[in-house]
């Protein structure tokens, strides 16, 4: 299935690229492989939706070299068209696993590694890790023949690394199901003390974030610039236009650096207040409302008139009346 021809002699050392979330299962998969002398390297995927910090922390604690693989374009493509659908949020987990394994496989081929490993446990998560699903993921990744799940390997068909004797199958495990007991026992054996909760680091599994992302997708599409801006301040929908207003100086600075061609920056010229960002092409009515929202977060009392400057597009200044806090809520995303 995978790209490079399989060598039949045992490589020395055998090198495994391990998908490494930093959660307990991924740490255990590394330990199980290392125990039989396999050289392990971690892979962490980078996108707006994932938190890489648990991987980095855990890799440091294990002394595991870590590769960062850019997954931004992949995850957006999968969210747009999830062949296997979504989980409870906008998380296309089956497609996402398969794609991550494919990317890891490509890296493996390009860097002289011999197998890919994951910490997946059969039956642990009903949607993405049922035994059948693990097989679907293996097949669709295109690298199933060199994809090893050390924690559940004995419940799955033997892969090339096992058949060829690169990995001793007898020293792999048959963990299955949702109980964490076997993993906790194993963690004790390997002396692992700190591990984050499983799947804690993906925003796409968060129902509230997913609703907001859906809302963004309906209006701005899944534009990576606007996805990044979801983290940069208060979010409003003003007669169909998105407005982001900084909550503090750090966010104002972020918004100013994020603005590019096609964007407008709004600022109060006669008051202390935040920066606002919206897309060029906003109508007078949208700008007037955006100005009123922006004014609410200046030091002007509700109802007072301030001057707002617009940077970008033709540029202009106009007057806006600070909105009352109660009215603001109707425009929040």
C-beta closer to ligand SF4: residue 199 or 258: 199
CA distance 265 to 242: 12
Q: Hunting for tokens 């994020």 — which residue is that?
A: 258
**Binding status of residue 202 toward ligand SF4 by CB under 6 A:** yes
Give the gyration radius of the chain's Cα atoms.
25
125-144 residues in contact with ligand SF4 (CB under 6 A) are none
Nearer of residues 205 and 252 to ligand SF4, judged by Cβ:
205
Cβ 38 to ligand SF4, closest distance in Å? Answer: 24
Residue 91 or 183: which CB sits closer to ligand SF4? 91
96 binds ligand SF4 (CB under 6 A): yes
Q: Which stretch binds ligand SF4 (CB under 6 A): 179-187, 202-210, 254-262, 282-290?
A: 202-210
264 backbone dihedrals φ, ψ, rounded to 5°: -120, 140
Q: By CB under 6 A, tell whether 19 contacts ligand SF4.
A: no
User: With binding defined as CB under 6 A, does residue 229 bind ligand SF4?
Assistant: no
CA angle centred on 221, ends 219 and 226, rounded to 5° = 90
Residue 91 binding ligand SF4, by CB under 6 A = yes
Q: In what order do the strands lie in the sheet with 305-311?
A: 234-238, 241-245, 275-279, 263-268, 305-311, 316-321
Q: Which of 18, 62, 64, 93 binds ligand SF4 (CB under 6 A)?
A: 93
- Please count the residues of this chain forming the interface with ligand SF4, following the rule CB under 6 A: 10
- Site mask for ligand SF4 (CB under 6 A), range 49-88, x = bound: -x--------------------------------------
Based on CB atoms, which residue is closest to ligand SF4, 21 or 275? 21
Residues that bind ligand SF4 (CB under 6 A): 50, 91-93, 96-97, 199, 202, 204-205
């Amino acid at each position: 299935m995978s790209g490079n021809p399989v060598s039949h002699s045992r490589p020395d050392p055998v090198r495994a690229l391990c998908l490494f979330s930093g959660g307990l299962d991924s740490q255990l998969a590394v330990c199980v492989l290392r125990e039989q002398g396999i050289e392990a390297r971690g892979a962490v995927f980078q996108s707006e939706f994932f938190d890489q910090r648990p991987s980095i922390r855990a890799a440091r604690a294990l002394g595991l070299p870590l590769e960062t693989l850019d997954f931004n374009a992949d995850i957006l493509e999968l969210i747009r068209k999830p062949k296997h659908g979504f989980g409870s949020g906008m998380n296309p987990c089956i497609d996402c696993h398969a794609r991550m394994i494919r990317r890891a496989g490509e890296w493996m081929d390009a860097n002289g590694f011999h197998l890919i490993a994951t910490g997946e446990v059969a039956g642990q998560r009903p949607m993405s890790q049922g035994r059948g699903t693990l097989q679907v993921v293996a097949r669709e990744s295109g690298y199933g023949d060199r994809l090893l799940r050390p924690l559940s390997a004995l419940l799955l068909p033997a892969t090339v690394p096992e058949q060829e004797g690169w990995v001793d199958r007898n020293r792999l495990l048959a963990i299955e199901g949702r109980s964490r007991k076997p993993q906790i026992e194993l963690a004790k054996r390997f002396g692992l003390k700190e591990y984050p909760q499983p799947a804690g680091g993906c925003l796409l599994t968060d129902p509230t974030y997913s609703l907001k992302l859906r809302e963004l997708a309906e209006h701005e599409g899944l534009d990576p610039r606007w996805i990044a801006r979801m983290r940069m301040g208060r979010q409003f929908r003003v007669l169909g236009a998105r407005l982001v207003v900084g909550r503090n100086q750090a966010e104002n600075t972020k918004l100013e650096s994020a603005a590019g061609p096609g964007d407008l920056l709004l600022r109060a010229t006669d008051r202390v207040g935040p920066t606002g960002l919206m897309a060029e092409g906003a109508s007078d009515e949208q700008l007037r409302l955006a100005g009123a929202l922006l004014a609410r977060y200046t030091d002007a009392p509700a109802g007072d008139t301030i001057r707002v400057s617009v940077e970008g597009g033709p540029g202009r200044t106009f007057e806006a009346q600070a909105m009352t806090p109660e009215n603001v809520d109707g425009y929040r995303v």
